[in-house]
Amino acid sequence: MHLRILLFLAFTIVLSSCNKPYYQAKGFKRITAKHKEIAVLPPEMILTGFNGLQSEQDALDEVLTAESRAFQLSLQNELLKSTKNGKRSLKVRLQPASRTNKLLEENEISVKDSWTEDPQKLAEILGVDAVLQSRVEKKKYFSDLASYGINIGVKVIGILSKNILPLLANTGLDKSNDIYSNMTLINANDGEILWTISGQIEADWSQPANVVIDDLNAALAKHFPYRR
């Protein structure tokens, strides 16, 4: 617990290094006055330092898709939690991640495809006023996402453990590694950027996946706009 607090505070310090650690469009309240619902899209996951064979890449894609869903669910939950303990509530609804993903699937848009699809098109499909896109970059994958109700196949884990871990040997990644994240809120009407924030956290990989992921999203979520 103490380690989690220290990691969170360290990340908060990174975000607090400037007076306003995010961008918000001028006239945000006026532009979003009629906004009622937004959707959190599956974050784009980038794993650096991997140069495996195509068969290994297919397995990696499966893991990154699972991680994307975990980050998406975590971000949604942290945005909702950021309104507790007397903090200002959100003036918009968050479309449940399950509905967002179902609508994307019904329109034949996979998690990976959603990373590069036109955000305005996605907003139209989802029937929301804005979408929150995210990009997460790291050098290690999470093998256990059970805390989010997501299971990664044993075969996939075996392939990754056999083929990826040697590539990461002697890099110090068995101890800790930085995770970088960027979030961008995009208006459905005109595709304009309404708000964006970036940050990083030094993640202790000995911690459960939900601790690392939730801490990262919690630090960013507290700066999210749409507050009453």
Q: Give per-residue pLDDT as tens, 62-84.
A: 888 999 999 999 999 999 999 87
Tens of pLDDT, residue by residue over 166-176, are 444 444 444 44
Nearest to 182 by CA among 131, 211, 216, 209: 216
Nearest Cα to 5, choosing from 224, 218, 197, 220?
218
Rounded CA gap, 133 and 111, in Å? 12
143 vs 80, which has greater pLDDT?
Answer: 80
Is the predicted pLDDT of residue 179 greater than 50, yes or no? yes
What percentage of the chain carries pLDDT values higher than 90?
A: 50
CA distance 31 to 142: 38
**pLDDT the model gives residue 96:** 97
176-187/130-138 β-pairing: antiparallel
Q: How confident is the model at residue 13 (pLDDT cuts 50, 70, 90)?
A: very low
- pLDDT value at position 169? 45
What is the maximum alpha-carbon separation in the chain?
53
Top pLDDT among 199 and 9 is at: 199
* Top-level class of domain 2-221: alpha beta
Residue pair 150/66 in contact (Cβ under 8 Å)? The answer is yes
Q: Where are the beta strands (DSSP E) in 20-159?
A: 22-24, 37-40, 44-47, 93-94, 130-138
Is residue 83 within 8 A of residue 28, CB to CB? The reply is no
Q: For residues 41 and 46, what is the distance between their CA atoms, to the nearest angstrom?
A: 15
58 or 9, greater pLDDT: 58
Confidence of residue 152 (pLDDT cuts 50, 70, 90): confident
User: What is the model's pTM?
Assistant: 0.81
The average confidence (pLDDT) of the chain is 81
